[in-house]
Amino acid sequence: MGFKKDFLWGGATAANQYEGGYLSGGKGLSTLDAIAGGSHEKPRMITYKTKEGKLETGWSRGSLPEGATGYIDPELFYPSHEATDFYHHYKEDIALFAKMGFKCFRLSISWARICPKGTDELNEEGLQFYDNVFDELLKYGIEPVVTMNHFDTPMYLADNYDGWSDRKLIDYFLFFAETIFTRYKDKVKYWMTFNEINFLRNWTTIGVHTADDQHKYQAAHHLFVASAKTVQLGHKINPDFQIGMMVAYIPSYPMSCRPEDVMESVSFNREQEFYMDVQVKGYYPAQKLKAFERTGVVIKKEEGDDEIIAAGTVDYIGFSYYMSTVSSANPENVKLIGGNQQPAVKNPYLEESAWGWAVDPLGLRISLCKLYDRYNVPLFVVENGFGAEDKIEADGSIIDDYRIDYFKKHVAAMKDAVDLDGVDLMGYTPWGCIDLVSAGTGEMKKRYGFIYVERYDDGTGDFSRREKKSFNWYKQVIESNGENL
């Protein structure tokens, strides 16, 4: 009973929010370097350069304005440029992860650090950086879990190809994939292709300038083909590789047993399951094909795409789980989650974080049951956590009992899913195990870590690290393989 002996306890991060060194060591610009912070869910004023070289300022709701090219506004402070400086602190941070007893560590490789333009030019210094990081992890027996692309598309590809709406990106990504698979094949076993592939509403992350369904789903098709080819290629390079997909899972409950509310929640959940259906089952689900017909979306496919998608299904599902939501057929019930553009309905039975994210541990068990019943492949909870504003006490300590409480309940829910429901769960990597820049807000204020980093939204802070109260709590959880909460 309980979690497997080799359960992968660890923590999760992403290059664009944690690494920093955005122009160090030969790295090229990525889309998230050129806008002021994060994955840009909220409408925000950005300054950009037009193709004609003119500087313009305008509102952007996640999409790059038409014709915009990568421009860094010297007047603006970009927390993501230095982020929490893993680039210079990786040895110290990995030692802290080892002290917590991590069995694995999830990080992403910055595509533009390996291929500065995203094309077939390579940056040896970038490759060496990740060699150093993996060697450091392996020194402590920590298994690297690598997201191949976490929201950061090389800016050159956004500027010159309109990002993933152009099929050419499949080849460029494959070149990047082959490079890192070959280079790290004896150091990394666990891979994931695209982070939260269903969050394509964050257009900047995929470098697309036109925010409409036609562009979104065409880009998704290219991502599916790239992912499937990547899976096949990886298995050829090293048959021991475990290559997964990654989706943001926010299960939705119907507001009531009124059938109209139930249908709303079915539709909401289907939109997320669509991305899993394609990558796990290997085909487009009928419901989506019908929806394309209704809305006039026409996916341009090349001959052989369907076969590629069918042959390149993933080994496991990685997913993020932070909250659940509620669907209602009555538009009056709809609110925006945490001020961003995600429509949702407040659940009267659940508490929310300061950012309006409903805390729902049982929702995690429900998700695990549903996904395992539906797909029957191993599951990996690769993100989960509680974003909060932490306070440093006079004696320097950080007493984050609210975070411990959140994790306690979520680990207990996973344990029930394993013990009572028979779910095959591979591991658990809480998000932002060390403080990093928020994807949604682009700020440092919203923190997730077991480790605090002195870095603030006005650009102050010396990047020093300190353990929060949750650090020792998580250590004891790992030590007891999830028995001692």
Residues that bind ligand BGP (CB under 6 A): 14, 17, 195-196, 248, 320, 383, 387, 431, 438-441, 446
124 is catalytic: no
Coil vs helix vs strand at 469: helix
Which residue, 159 or 196, has its beta carbon nearer to ligand BGP? 196
What is Dmax (Cα atoms) for the chain? 65
Please compute, for residue 26, the number of CA atoms within 13 A of its CA located in the half-sphere on the CB side. 15
Closest by Cα among 399, 398, 380 to 189: 380
Which residue, 306 or 443, has its beta carbon nearer to ligand BGP? 443
Which residue, 248 or 291, has its beta carbon nearer to ligand BGP? 248
The residue sitting closest to ligand BGP, measured at its beta carbon, is: 440
Compute the least distance from the CB of residue 146 to ligand BGP, in Å.
Answer: 14
Give the pair of three-digit tokens for residue 227: 């992912």
| φ and ψ of 219, to 5 deg | -60, -40
Which residue, 149 or 438, has its beta carbon nearer to ligand BGP? 438
Under 8 Å CB-to-CB from 5, ≥6 apart: which residues? 481
Compute the least distance from the CB of residue 445 to ligand BGP, in Å.
Answer: 10
What is the per-residue DSSP string for 94-137?
Answer: HHHHHHHT-SEEEEE--HHHHSTTSSS---HHHHHHHHHHHHHH
Compute the least distance from the CB of residue 195 to ligand BGP, in Å.
Answer: 5
Pick the catalytic residue from 19, 136, 143, 383.
383
Provide the 10 A C-beta neighbour count for residue 125.
13
Detail the DSSP E strand segments found in 298-441.
316-320, 325-327, 334-336, 343-345, 379-383, 425-428
Which residue, 14 or 83, has its beta carbon nearer to ligand BGP? 14
Which residue, 69 or 110, has its beta carbon nearer to ligand BGP? 110
Cβ atoms 365, 413 nearer than 8 A: yes
Compute the least distance from the CB of residue 101 to ligand BGP, in Å.
Answer: 23
Compute the least distance from the CB of residue 110 to ligand BGP, in Å.
Answer: 13
Which residue, 269 or 328, has its beta carbon nearer to ligand BGP? 269
What is the per-residue DSSP string for 342-354?
Answer: -EEE--TTS-B-T
| φ and ψ of 220, to 5 deg | -60, -40
By CB atoms closer than 10 A (0-12, 13-18, 19+), residue 148 is: buried
Cβ atoms 166, 160 nearer than 8 A: no
Closest by Cα among 446, 459, 350, 314 to 390: 446
CA dihedral 62, 63, 68, 74 (to 10 degrees): 0
CA–CA dist 303, 49 (Å, integer) = 38
Coil vs helix vs strand at 215: helix
Compute the least distance from the CB of residue 104 to ligand BGP, in Å.
Answer: 17
Which residue, 405 or 416, has its beta carbon nearer to ligand BGP? 405
CA–CA dist 133, 90 (Å, integer) = 7
Q: What is the CA radius of gyration of the chain?
A: 21
Cβ atoms 152, 30 nearer than 8 A: yes
CA–CA dist 333, 259 (Å, integer) = 16
Compute the least distance from the CB of residue 328 to ligand BGP, in Å.
Answer: 23
Compute the least distance from the CB of residue 167 to ligand BGP, in Å.
Answer: 25
Compute the least distance from the CB of residue 367 to ligand BGP, in Å.
Answer: 15
Which residue, 40 or 222, has its beta carbon nearer to ligand BGP? 40
Instruction: Tell me the torsion sign for CA atoms 27, 31, 32, 36.
Output: positive
Compute the least distance from the CB of residue 240 to ligand BGP, in Å.
Answer: 26
Give the pair of three-digit tokens for residue 419: 């013990």
Which residue, 264 or 383, has its beta carbon nearer to ligand BGP? 383
Strand partners, 197: none
Active site residues: 383
